[in-house]
Every structure is written in C-alpha cells, then in structure tokens.
Structure 1
Amino acid sequence: MTQSQPNDPRQTVICLKWGDRYGPEYVNRMYRMVSRNTARPLRFVCFTDDPTGIGEGVEVKPMPPFDLPERMRFHPFRRMFLFQETLDDLTGPLLHLDLDLLVTGSIDPLFDHKPEARFVVAENWTQKGQGIGNMSVFRFNVGELTEVWDRFRPDPGAMMDLYRNSQTFVCRTLGEVAFFPGAWVLSFKHSLVPPWPLRFFQTPRLPEDAITVAFTGKPDIDEAARGEWPVRAAWKKLYKHVRPTPWIAEHWR
C-alpha cells in the first residue's frame, strides 16, 4: 500500500464507509468516477470499518475506534475525527466526497477554488444564505480546523443535542465558511428535478458545468436512475415523482 511523502504531488480525495448502508461497490464506483475526472496524480483514501470488497487503487485506512455515545455509531457526527490535529499520515488539502453522490466533471477546480480558505463546502441547498454547508462535498487542510474537534470531543452528546446535524455544528463552530460555486455542486432533487408538475413529463437535465450531484434523502442514486421515488404516504406520490434518468448510469460506474 502506498504512503504519502513530503511534498507529495498527488491530490488526495477521501471517503468514509461505516456500517452497512453502502457496500464496497459504492467505494469502487467513487474511485473510478474520481479517476476519470482528474488530470492530476490522485491519492484516493477510504476510511472504513470493513475493507471487504474494496478494490485495487483505493488506499484503505481504519475508522478510529468507536468511543462515542451509541446513538452516534452510524450518525454523520462520527466523522468529526477528520478535524483532529493529525489524520493518519495524510497532510495538506483533502477533498471529502460522500459515497451517495455522482462525480460528473473534473474535480480539479474543487482543489483550486479559493485556495486561501480554511474550509470550502457546498452551500446547503435548503438553507441558502444561512452560512450552512452541505458536507457531501468539502475541502479542508489537515490539522487546521482543530477547534471543531476541540469543541466536539469533551461532550459529543451535548453537541448532537444542541445542533440539528453535523454540518450545522461544523459551520457554526467555524463561524465563516467558503462555498463552492453553486453550478459545480448540485443536489439531484433540489437542483435538477423539474418543478411540479413538469417533473411528470420532463427528465432531469445535467448541466455542463456540474462537477458533483448529491442524492440526499430519497431517491437514492439507483432509484433515481430507474425513475423511482419511494414514499411512505401514498398521497406524497402526487408531488414526489421523477422520470427515469439515463445519464445517472453513464456516470455511476
């Protein structure tokens, strides 16, 4: 397994996989999507509690031991370990990508955008103008955001009770964050699904400038590709609808 060296010219992309929500095929697809969408040397790292099935080319590292409240075992708050002073042997800028998103364009601009910023993130599509990022896509420098970890670690449960989610906690703790251009980082259902009632007749379109497309909540990537939007209450089918979207499969491979 390769290890980083001082002045390593590679761009480092990381993902996290724990529990059984996403299988190793999600990691392998993410690695292939990222590899196809960079013109630069790449280091791709997956922190996981189960490396089974993760393919060649992915550098696997263990998730830190679980010593948080049990309710955080599978909660996004668990990723706060990323903001410690050291992170295994990783250094420099890291680009974090959630496993439930598509990479549809070159990731290189995500490294180049606002290089002076400590934390660059997708602006949360449902909280525009509130200074909150959606942490499906974010970039940071290892060891430079330790105030997040220092505030979280003494009482993780209290932080979970105080903030609705981990991204609000991180952004409020940092106070000021930078955002990627909205045209680069999109939400499938908030950015691309046509408004009602056009969604019954029009297929979501992928803009040329898009770099990533996140699938938060429902539908999942595979469901959206098939034109399925699962709902618990039947009446929600009146507005939660998406047509089959072939371009998803073109990228998610």
Structure 2
Amino acid sequence: MKWGTKYGPEYVNRLYGMVRRHLHGDFNFVCLTDDASGIRPEVQCLPIPPLNLQLKPGQRDGAWKKLTTFEADLHGLRGTALFLDLDVVIVGSLDDFFTQPGEFLIIKDYPRFWRFGERIVGNSSVYRFTLGAHADALAYFRGHMEEAQKEYRNEQDFLSHFLHRQGKLSYWPVGWCPSFKYHCIPAWPTNYWKPPFVPQGARIIIFHGEVNPHDALAGRRNKRFHHIQPATWVADAWKG
C-alpha cells in the first residue's frame, strides 16, 4: 500500500523484485495506491478504498488505511493475501508465510520496556489473511471510529485486539521478522565498529522508527547520538 509522497515508486519496484526472488511459483502482486506512476508493469495497481476517517484539525490518518485491506470485496480479489510494508527488506524464503497454520498471522510486536499490558499487540508490517474474511473488523471500525481511535494507538493495536477477542490472532514464528532497530544493530559500544547484521533465521527485516533501508545502507540513523556502521548487505537484498 502506497499513498502520499513518503515512499516513491522505487520502493514498490524493489519490493516486487524481492518477492519474485524469494517466493516460488506464480503470484499476483497488488499495490493499493493513490499514484501508480513509475511502478513496474508486473504490479497490479488498484485504488485504496475510501476509509472516510473522521480526522480532527491537524490530525493525520497514519496507517489506519491498512484496515481497508479487509473490505468484504477488495476489487474482486480472492484467495490468500500476504501484506508487506513497503520498507521491509526480504532476506529469506517467503514460501512458509503461505503455509504456516493460522487464520490471521501477524508479527508479535517488539517489546518496549515503557509499555505494559500490550503483549497481544501485533506489528502489521507483515500479516496474512484470507481476502474478505475479516470484513467485520473494518465494519466495526467504520461504525466506531472516534471510540476506536481513543482506545487504540493505531490500526495494528485495534486489529490485534479485535481478532484476539475472536480467537483468530496468531503470530509468525520468532525470528522470521526481526526488527532492524532492535535485532540487527550490534550492542553499544560495538555498534561503532561492527556493522549491522542479518540475524540467523531471518526472512524479512522490519524497518520502523528512525531507520529506513536507504538510511541503513548509508550508515545513518535519524536520531542524535545513535551510531551505526553501513549495512552493506542491504544493497544486495533491497533491489528490483
């Protein structure tokens, strides 16, 4: 899913290239977007369904748009869908993401010592579902927008709790989707001379917070007093 100007078409094109290299067999690669210009022809570009989010002045819609992937009829698409954030870097096989048992699978969110009571929350950088199967989650959100935004920090918080209450929430095996920020950067002070690494067993590296793939490749963190060496392996993995 791509909207606005934060990510250009090169992110979509690289993501397609990574999926093609790491997923066996035929697949349909779909980008829900408000601007299909510059996106490679192998990608099926479709409009993002309207969410009609009720925003207050100055409030941004954030990632709530992801909930529209749960439309009862998403442009007539059928089958099993694996959602991938644009800024992930794929480093291993994706085949098992389609065979792992579970009705709805998501990354178990990375622990943060300053947050408590959120053990069930998923990280929606990578999730798998059957198209049309969870339209009730989207319908509930549309009918309780103000209430949901007050109770939940973001779309992944809302979605995780909604599906957990239904007994449908499962997590990817530990290690499949490590965080670049938490799992790939060597501990201080070795981060000043050791480069970021790919953890053993990793399939998809998740970039969230202050580092994107191009920042990691350049050895740059958008945070004061936090140093990293260039992650040269990003150049080999993150390409179209």
Q: TM-score w.r.t. structure 2 length?
A: 0.90
Unaligned runs of 5+ in 1: 1-15
Residue 38 of structure 2 corresponds to 53
Residue 73 to residue 40, structure 1, CA distance change in 2 (3 Å):
farther
Tell me which amino acid in the other structure corresponds to 2:47: P
CA distance in 2, matches of 1:18, 1:155: 24
State the Cα deviation string for residues 73-111 of structure 1 (Å, max 9, x = none): 641111211122221121121000000110111111111
2:90 maps to 1:98:
no
Moved runs in structure 1, 4+ residues, more than 4 A?
71-74
- Give the drift of 1:221: 1.0
- Mapped to 2, the partners of 1:17 and 1:124 lie a distance apart of 22
CA contact (8 A) 2:178 2:199 kept: no
Shift of 1:150: 2.2
Native 8 Å contact 1:19 1:74 kept in 2: no
CA distance in 1 between partners of 2:61 and 2:127 (Å) = 20
Q: Is the 8 A contact 2:103 2:129 kept in 1?
A: yes
CA pair 61-78 structure 1, distance change in 2 beyond 3 A: same
**Cα contact 2:50–2:68 (8 A) shared by 1:** no
C-alpha deviation, 1:51, in angstroms: 0.6
Task: Count residues in correspondence.
Answer: 230
Residue 59 of structure 1 aligns with an amino acid whose one-letter code is Q
Distance 1:126 1:52 in 2: 38
Distance 1:196 1:138 in 2: 32
| Residue aligned with 1:42, SS | coil
**Alignment partner, residue 109 of structure 1:** 96
What is the match of residue 10 of structure 1? none
What secondary structure does 1:218 align onto? coil
Q: Choose from 12, 17, 22 the match for 2:7.
A: 22
- Whether 1:245 and 2:231 are equivalent positions in the alignment is yes
Q: Secondary structure at the match of 1:147?
A: helix
Please list, as runs of the form range in 1=range in 2, the aligned pairs for 1:192-207 lying within 5 A after superposition.
192-207=184-199
Structure 2, unaligned stretches of length 5 or more? none
Instruction: Provide the residue aligned with 2:152 in structure 1.
Output: 163
Task: Report deviation, 1:149.
Answer: 1.1
Inter-CA distance 181–43: structure 2 relative to 1 (3 Å threshold): same
Q: Which residue of 1 aligns with 2:178?
A: 186
Q: Deviation of residue 19 (structure 1)?
A: 0.7
- Which residue identity is paired with 1:145? H
Higher strand share goes to which structure? 1
CA contact (8 A) 1:186 1:210 kept: yes
In 2, distance between residues paired with 1:110 and 1:186? 15
Equivalent residue in structure 1 for 2:201, among 209, 213, 224: 209
Higher relative contact order at CA 8 Å, sep ≥6: structure 1 or structure 2?
Answer: 2
Distance 1:185 1:101, change over 3 A: same
Given that 2:53 and 2:61 are in contact with CA atoms closer than 8 Å, whether structure 1 keeps it comes out as no
| Identity of matched residues, % | 34
Deviation of 1:21 (Å): 0.8
Equivalent residue of 1:99, what SS? coil
Q: 1:76 to 1:159 in 2, by over 3 A?
A: same
Q: Give deviations 1:125-162, integer Å, cap 9, x for gaps.
A: 12698111100000001122123112101132321121
CA contact (8 A) 2:51 2:142 kept: no
* Residue 7 of structure 1: aligned partner: none
Q: Whole-Å Cα distance in 2 between the matches of residues 92 and 216 of structure 1?
A: 28
